[in-house]
Structure 1
């Protein structure tokens, strides 16, 4: 399996591992990823606190309940993404309403995005058995995030 970066499919998204996108582009992002071979997991509802967002991320990724309550368990569960997504070599997490956490708990947002970014790096070792391509697209209104196609 060759590595396929979300940013190469959707030029204009900013970031690495966790990419930022404008909410207006959500349908386009979802459609592009789905038609490019990514299994798409979507966080349900915005969260103003880190623990709430963590639990929503764990549910979206079908991780064990402990991953939604304990940061170490989240890290460990993400390392085992192939266990939870055995039939999908490419997994994209879509996180609508991420600005709620940015505005309500910026340190929590930074903690979760660092965990997700590290998982992106850890899960790909060159395309061997068990490797997963994993990236997150956080939809953020305002905060300098531009819609695709904006100059």
Structure 2
């Protein structure tokens, strides 16, 4: 698998970020379709989390991680490192995080903690195509906060 060609930023060049990319909620269906067409397995965090622990639990559930990953940050980090265990048939996994702006607005430090963990997982999981490698990225859907719709990004 050519990781450079498969990165979400290559499929959707209007998205901002690396590892955790920001997208406008209006683009959610387009993003999902492009990811599926690009060979990604797509997991979606559910819920309207306004606290870090709620968001953490939603992310862990979406990624089919053990329950401890939803309540313990160290367990989340460890479980993400073992993503191949939870997604054995999928080399490309994308986490969609709708409503991420709720956490940004209610608990910015919590949002930053979770996005740093997700970014680190992106870096840790791809080692150049060795067995067990996973291309993992997150798309956080954020209304406002400078995030533009894809059609606006090229305008």
1:108-147 equivalences in 2 (<5 Å): 108-147=110-149
2:10 paired with 1:2: no
How far did residue 149 of structure 1 move?
1.6
Q: Which residue in 2 is equivalent to 1:16? A: 18
Task: Spell out, residue by residue over 1:97-147, the C-alpha distance to the aligned partner (whole angstroms, 9 max, x if none).
Answer: 000000000000000000000000000000110000000000000000000
Q: Among 17, 41, 44, which residue is 1:42 paired with?
A: 44
How far did residue 46 of structure 1 move?
2.0
The CA RMSD over aligned residues, in Å, is: 0.5
Structure 1 spans left out of the alignment, 5+ residues: none
Q: Which residue in 2 is equivalent to 1:26? A: 28
Q: Which residue in 1 is equivalent to 2:75? A: 73
The TM-score, its normalising length taken from structure 2, stands at: 0.97
Which consecutive segments of 4 or more residues in structure 1 shift more than 3 A? none
Number of residue pairs aligned between Structure 1 and Structure 2: 151
The TM-score, its normalising length taken from structure 1, stands at: 0.99
